[in-house]
Structure 1
Amino acid sequence: MKNLKTLPAFIVDDDPFWTEVLKQILLKIGFQKIHTFEDGESCLKHIHLNPAIVFLDYQMEHSNGLEILQEVKGYYPGIEVVFCTALENLEVAIAAMEYGSVEYLLKSNVTEELVAEIVSNYQSVNLA
């Protein structure tokens, strides 16, 4: 078992403002290794870094979050994926959970406390 915060965290989003906000929150709650990617393909090229948690956007210019989610979980099902979106869509939320997302996070609702609570639910992880 390893502490989640000592392992890499990925933020996959093409919105630089959102990415920076989330990165600052993760740093503030104790993450040490944060990698950011503007699209899913870049994330997948670096998946060998074995992130413990991935914050994944749904709507990116060159990527579909649901497809990337499936590929991330196909690489290693133990990676915790938090689906992040500005879109309130029940079908997308259900699909994200069916494909293995542990949370469906609406960007408009994000606070440091909420992210800390999500992370605390997955504090220790088993990674290969």
Structure 2
Amino acid sequence: MENQSEFKFFIVDDDVFCSSLHEQYLRNIGCTNITHFTNGIDCLDNLHLNPDIIFLDHDMNDLNGFEVLKKIKRINPGIYVVMISGQENIKTAVDALKYGAFDYLIKDENVSKKIETLISNIVKIKEELKKSNAGFVSKILSFF
């Protein structure tokens, strides 16, 4: 069974206070493999480290979150990218999902609970994918 504590996380946010809060939420639920980046370019340059989940701020100075999201998805579509924003904007949320984000979270007083729920959903999805892939592989092998 895959465990969230084994996941590798990237937090990409030019607001150090926010990224520290997100890191603390993750540590509180047992996650320890966490890397911070203060800009999208550094994140993209380190995708070879194969993070499982990236928490990506929408509003950054160098590249905005959408530009980074699109590049991440081109390089490795299997990474779960969660867009995080300070503004509650339905268009931004819809665009984030359209460009391949797994989810869109608002930075508010409930964000820690939302992060916890989101990660447990990803654990379940990864487990189901593993099961269905195993079934798929055995079906293919049964033809030989």
Fold shared by both chains (TM-score > 0.5):
yes
Q: CA RMSD in A?
A: 1.8
Kindly indicate whether the alpha-carbon contact (under 8 Å) linking 2:41 and 2:63 is maintained by their aligned counterparts in 1: yes
Q: What secondary structure does 1:100 align onto?
A: coil
For 1:121 and 1:111, how far apart are their aligned partners in 2?
15
How high is the TM-score relative to the length of structure 1?
0.91
Aligned with 1:11: secondary structure? strand
Q: How many percent of aligned residue pairs carry the same amino acid? A: 38
| Structure 1 residue matching 2:87: 3-state secondary structure | coil
What corresponds to 1:24 in structure 2? 24
Which has the bigger relative contact order, CA under 8 A and spacing at least 6? 1
Matched, 1:114 2:122: no
Q: Are 2:91 and 1:94 equivalent residues in the alignment?
A: no
Q: The residue matched to 1:63 in structure 2 has which SS?
A: coil
Aligned residues: 127
- The letter for the 1-side match of 2:73 is K
- 1:86-112 Cα deviation digits (max 9, x unpaired): 012221111100111111100024443
TM-score between the two structures when normalised by the length of structure 2: 0.81
8 Å Cα contact 2:105/2:111 also seen in 1? no
Separation (CA, whole Å) in 2 of partners of 1:93 and 1:63: 18
Look up the SS of the partner of 1:120 in the other structure.
helix
Q: How does 1:13-92 map to 2 (within 5 A)?
A: 13-92=13-92
Q: Is the 8 A contact 2:105 2:114 kept in 1?
A: no
1:98–1:43 CA distance, 2 compared to 1 (3 A): same
Structure whose residues are more often helix by fraction: 2
Alpha-carbon offset, residue 65 of structure 1: 0.2
Q: Following the alignment from structure 2 to structure 1, what is the Cα–Cα distance between the partners of residues 96 and 77?
A: 14
Give, in whole Å, the separation in 1 of the partners of 2:5 and 2:102. Answer: 17
Q: Distance in 2 between matches of 1:61 and 1:110?
A: 25
- Give the gaps of 5 or more residues in structure 1: none
How far has the Cα of 1:47 moved from its partner? 0.5
Deviation of 1:58 (Å) = 0.6
The structure having more radius of gyration, on CA atoms, is 2
